[in-house]
Amino acid sequence: MTINEKAAYIKGLAEGLNLDDSKPEVKVINELLALVSDMADELNEVECEVDDVSDVVVELQDEVSELESDFDEFAEAVANVMEDFAYGDDEYDDDEDELFDEDNPDYEVKCPDCGAEIVVDEDTLLEGEINCPNCGNELEFDFTSLFADEVCDCGDPDCPMCNPE
């Protein structure tokens, strides 16, 4: 029997006594019965809310468990990478080789107008000019003085050494 059912049962017992409602004692008993009924209703609402919260807690526990599992997998992967890195595993050296091209190295150039540092490869630098990606101003590179004593016979019409301007 639920609390609400018990409260209704007691109220029915009191009504079955055919008490005189004009007496002060009966008024107190009726108010106590109404209070018990209200408390039973409130308790029922609290139980429903507790059930809802309990369901949410179970869902959160499942999600936390899943996150812990994902974190453990991630931590293990990081530990493996760190171990490989510490012991010089060649797997990561190959990646570095792909980033650095010996035949076409990168150079860092500073824009005189905006101060932005720009990384360009040698081929781009030897073209003689680029636009600053930050401010858009044209940067010119003149290497003719570096190669003044050298003779080039590559035949390229754009070659700054063969065709100094």
79-117 pLDDT, tens digit each: 888 887 766 555 545 444 455 566 668 888 899 999 988
The predicted model gives 119-143 an average pLDDT of 86
Q: Is residue 87 part of a domain?
A: no
The Cα–Cα gap between 55 and 52 comes to 5
Amino acid symbol at 23: K
The predicted model gives 20-35 an average pLDDT of 92
Q: Is residue 162 part of a domain?
A: yes
Residue 80 and residue 92 in contact, taking contact as beta carbons nearer than 8 Å: no
Q: What pTM was computed for the model?
A: 0.38
pLDDT in tens, 35-62: 999 999 999 999 999 999 999 999 999 9
Q: Is residue 68 part of a domain?
A: no
Mark which of 62, 97, 113 sits at the end of a domain.
62
Q: Is residue 55 part of a domain?
A: yes
Q: Is residue 118 part of a domain?
A: yes
Domain that holds residue 157: 105-165
Q: Check residue 105 and give left, alpha or beta (phi > 0: left; psi -120 to 50: alpha).
A: beta
Predicted local confidence at residue 97, as pLDDT: 47
The Cα–Cα gap between 57 and 39 comes to 26
Q: Is residue 145 part of a domain?
A: yes
Predicted local confidence at residue 34, as pLDDT: 94
Q: Is residue 96 part of a domain?
A: no
Amino acid symbol at 150: E
Structure tokens at 16: 């079955």
**Type and span of the H or E element at 67:** helix 24-86
Counting the structural domains of the chain, the total is 2
165 and 111: one domain? yes
Mark which of 10, 32, 62 sits at the end of a domain.
62
Q: Is 109 helix (H, G, I), strand (E, B) or coil?
A: strand
Task: Please spell the DSSP secondary structure of 75-128, one letter per residue.
Answer: HHHHHHHHHHHHTT-HHHHHHHHHH--TTS-EEEEE-TTT--EEEEEHHHHHTS
